[in-house]
Every structure is written in structure tokens, then in C-alpha cells.
Chains A and B, each alone.
Chain A
Amino acid sequence: MTVFVWIESFAGRALSSSWEALGAANALATDLDCAVTAIVLGANAEEIAAEAAGYGARGAIVCSDASLTDYRPETYAALLSQLVAEHKPKAVLAVASNRGRELLASAAADTGSGMISDVIELRLDGGQLIGTRPAYAGKVLMEMTAHTETTFVTLRARAFPPAASAVGNAPTIQHAPAVEAPDSIASLVEGFATESGTVNLTDAAIIVSGGRGMANNPRGAPEGLDGEAAAIWKAKDGFANTLMPLVDILGAAMGASRAAVDAGYIPYEHQVGQTGKVVNPDLYIACGISGAIQHQAGMRNSKIIVAINKDAQAPIFKLARYGIVGDLYEVVPALTAALRRRLG
């Protein structure tokens, strides 16, 4: 018996979130008294497999065929499905990233296996794998199980501690041939653009978020802008020049409420909440966010919540460990300066 874990990589490097999946796989394998097999596909697969061994994976199956250089569900799922059919692992684990979700759902369909997605807790009960997962954006939780030989499980980012580094033997590496001929690939990656230097919200240890209050910027909007256009200018200026320095000094990710996104203050990629990203950082600093139920659904599992809001009655204070009642345009620059003195 074995437990598979997909080590997600990007541009030839393992994503650090993959070590969370490996940590969960190690714990499961200990309970099942079996070994973990790391599945590494794409560029630098062997180096990444060796790195995974340093976190406790005893075996690895690698394939660095050219058709796997760019992640595509057709090629990746075809190979993973074949490996699952051959090795019949008890479980296949991966972080619930965009690619992890797609790959595991596809291979689960190919092999007719049950899938439990976005799991925050995983346990064995008499040999049966049971996953706890949020539903209704975390307003309720559910326990799910699968009845098939293999269960596919995606894990919510930051819900499982990363694997500890282990001194071990070199892993047993098996090479798998790619499954599909390149000419049968139905999709083609043409380009890639990245926002350099930004931190991914779901991986972030610290998040600084802005809400509707961002429009109360004391800086005057340029002449000719009034009403809604002035509010948008003020809020954008606030995100860029008031929140961003705090984000930078903390190495944080920038979040926002739906109200701020819908008002056009900041792009949708930053939205935290039920129709945005669900996050669970160590520290969540909510600036000018009232804390509507749909925003709470996205951030209520943060370890420490700090609320900065002018309105002492804002619902966000009920959720916060620490609150400062005051104008974010006074509090945030002071906080940034205080942190700069402490963190250098």
C-alpha cells in the first residue's frame, strides 16, 4: 500500500505549499504503516523528488517528458490516472490550488474514484478515510468519505503544517513514460504574465485588507473628478500609498472586501470572502472593512484578526482579537512607521 502526493511545481521549482500536502501524506502513511510516494511531473522532476525525500517521501515517481513542461490537465491527468490504476494508492493528496483541483478531479473521474475537496482535517476511522471540509463558504462544516479503493483529496492551503525535514535515504525513484503523444494534446500554452513581487493570498501568512473605508482618503482627488470617480481615485490612491507600505514591510498579501472590488477600487484578484478567496493567515489586518457576513466567510479562520475602523459598532470588531477605533488614514501610516522602527 502507498499514499500518493502530487508535488506541485512551477517553472521547474517545487511550490512550498506542496510540503503541506507531503506533511499530511506522511501523517496518513504513518497511520496506515506504509510509505509515501511523491508524484513529480515536469521540468527538474528528479531534483524535486530528491527535495521531497528531504521532507520524508520514501519513494517518487517522476516524469520530465517535454509534453509535461507546461501543466495541462490532459497530459497530467492521463499520466496520474494510469499511475493510480497501476499502484492503487489508498489516497492521492495535493494542495487545493487551481491546478491541484483540476488535476485530482480529472484523474478521479478517469479512475472512477471518490474525491473529497478542500479538506481542512483528515483522519482514518477503521481504515476509512474521512475528510472534514467547509461548505457554504465555511458557514457549515461537513464530514465526507469515499467508498473506492483510492480516495482523491485536495487540501486547503495552510490548513496542514508543512512536513518536517527528515534525514533519510535517497528516495527510490521510478521513471514513468508520458502517456499521450504530443499531437493528441488538445490545448496549448501560449504565454504567461505575472505580477512580480506579489504574494498569493491563499499562501500568505499575513494579509492586509482594505474595504469601503478606503474612499475616505483625506487627499483630494484631482480637479475634474467628482462623485464616484473621485471616490475611486481616492481609494486607489489609498491602496497604493497607504496600505501598500504596510503590506511591504510585513511581506504580506493585499486583500480587499467585495464592497471595495465592486466599487472599482481594486481588481477582483484581491477579493477575500464568499465570492472571492477563502484565506487563513496568521495575521489579518482589516482596514475600513465593516465585516459583512460574506466577508467573514472568507477570513474568519485567520489566527489573529486586527480591525481598524472609524465605526466602533462595525461587526468586524466582534471577530477581531485587537481593534483600533479610528481613521485608517491616521492609524495605518502610524502603524507602518512603528513596524519600521521594530522590524528595521
Chain B
Amino acid sequence: MHVVTFTRSTPDTAAKVWVDEGGEVSWGDVATVVNPWDEYSLEESIAIAKSSGGMSTVIAIGVALHDDALKHSLAMGIQNAIRVEEVGADSHDSLVWSRLAAGALQQLGDVDLVIFGKESIDVATDQHSMQLARRMGWTMLSFVSAILDIDITAGTIKVEKTLEQGKQTLSARLPAVISVMKGINEPRYPNFLGIRKAAKAKIPVWTAADLGVELPEPVTSALRYFNPPARAVSTEIIAGEGVDHKVETLVARLFEEKVL
């Protein structure tokens, strides 16, 4: 099987992120990491490629910053990395993004399964994976918490999906696009050998012209970024003699606040 996953570099979850005076999003000089949700899709891709005797490829769409995420993926054990960059294209627009991604999948030609992390923590969207599936005419299985079976001969996959109401079991035809949740596996850490190999890897860059893709005009615009209004919280540390007295005071306060 040829398993493809998409990734990007994002600030770490522990990083402070803010909008600077110029209206740009900043996280200072904190180094980026591989999008935390993608650690699970990368692990799943490596495991499936290995168990099926197949191939794993990771793709990032965007500027050279994302090479860091690609190198981390290679260090974990993904076999192949590609970056797609179209200068001037607004790859934040999910329809532009999914057109480039579909072009890359068509260029690879033999893809059986595409695995995404649940979402990208920077722009916080998950529509890219779903829109790619529609462009390819493939089945979308999102929020997958377990892959129960892949039957290569029959060309089918069976998964457990997470809904708000519980877990649903679905089977589908391959090729398919899936997005996976945290908890589906334990992502491995890159080892020394992997890191050395990844550092030396030369990552090819494909453009829209290489893929024979004509890009649509972006259909969305980010008008502005701004900092959320500061929460004006004055904290009351409940005082009093003993726990029982304190909780009585707390309960009275919560009734006053009308949240009970």
C-alpha cells in the first residue's frame, strides 16, 4: 500500500501566540514543531506502510518553514517527503490548498490511503482533509479512533469513528481519506539514526506547473487577526474556617451567579 500523510510546522502547544502591533500573528523566536495532531497520522502511516510492505510519503504544502515538519516525519520513519509550493498562491484558502494536494496525489498516482491528523492547530481547521476527499472523489472517514482492518485484496478499510454520541464502526472502499484522533497509537520518537538521515535528506519542491494544476482564485480572505479581549477576572479565594464552611460559601456564590 502507498500511504500518504500531510503535515505542517506549527508553534508548540505550550508557546505563547499573539498578534503584534503590525497585525501579524507572532510566537516570538520559539521553534516550530510538527503539528501535534500529525504525530498520530505519521505514526499510523509508518505502521501501515510497514505491515503492508508498502510505501509512506509525507507532503507539506507551503513555504520552506514546513521543511522542519517534513524532516521530523522522515526522522520518525516516513520514507518519502515532498513539499509543494506555489509562490503567490494563498494556500491558507482550503479550496486552493486542496487543489494543490489533489494535484500531488495524482502526480504520485498509486495512492491507496491518505491519513490526516485531526486538525491543524495553527489555523485550527479540519476542512482541508474533507475537501481533498471530495476533489479526489474518495470516501472521507473523519475523526477515526481505531483502524480495525485493511483488506488490500478486497480494497476495503474498516474503522471506528468518534461521534459526539459514541463510536461508530464503518467500512469503506479504498482509496480513502481518513483523519485520526489522539489515542489511536503511541507516536514514536525519532532515533539518532533517523535524525541524521533526515538532516541529510534533500526535499523536492513541486509547483502547480509541475503538477499541471490550474489554481482557482481563493474564495476566502482573512480580514484581520486580533488578540482576544483580556478576561477581567478578579479571583475570590474562598476564606473561612474549615472545608465545610468554604464549600457552603462557594455554593452560595454559584447560586448568586445563576450557574446552578
Contacts and interface: CB of A to CB of B under 8 A. Distances in A.
A pairs with B = yes
A136 B36 CA distance: 12
Contacts of B222: 142-144
B156 to A, nearest CB: 9
B236 A101 contact: no
B17 A191 contact: no
A292 to B, nearest CB: 7
B127 A187 contact: no
Given A142-B222, A147-B221, A319-B233, A109 B95 contact: yes
Contacts of A321: 233-236, 257
Nearest to A77: B134
Given A101-B130, A105-B130, A275 B13 contact: yes
B219 A148 contact: yes
A294 B25 CA distance: 18
Contacts of A97: 164
Interface size range on B against A: 35 or more
B109 interface: no
Contacts of B88: none
A98 B143 contact: yes
B166 A192 contact: yes
A268 B182 contact: yes
Interface in B218-260: 218-228, 231, 233-238, 243-244, 246-248, 250-251, 253-255, 257, 259-260
B173 A186 contact: yes
Given A137-B124, A322-B250, A146 B139 contact: no
A140 B6 CA distance: 24
A24 interface: no
Interface of B: 11, 13-19, 25, 36-37, 94-95, 98, 121-127, 130-131, 133-135, 138-143, 158, 161-173, 176, 181-183, 216-228, 231, 233-238, 243-244, 246-248, 250-251, 253-255, 257, 259-260
Nearest to B227: A140
Interface in A307-344: 312, 317-326, 330-331, 334-335, 337-339, 342-343
B243 A189 contact: no
A250 to B, nearest CB: 8
A273 B123 CA distance: 16
Contacts of B158: 190
Instruction: Summarize A's interface: helix, strand, loop or mixed.
Output: mixed
Contacts of A305: 233
A260 interface: no
B169 A113 contact: no
Nearest to A110: B134
Contact of B220 (A10, A114, A319): A114
Contacts of B218: 147
Interface in A205-238: 206
A51 interface: no
Contacts of B135: 109
A25 B94 CA distance: 24
A323 B167 contact: no
Interface centre among B16, B139, B219, B247 (most CB of A within 10 A): B247
A117 B94 CA distance: 11
Contacts of A108: 95, 127, 131
B170 A189 contact: yes
A37 to B, nearest CB: 22
B251 A144 contact: no
Given A187-B141, A334-B243, 6 more contacts: A147-B218, A186-B173, A192-B168, A293-B14, A304-B257, A320-B235
A160 to B, nearest CB: 17
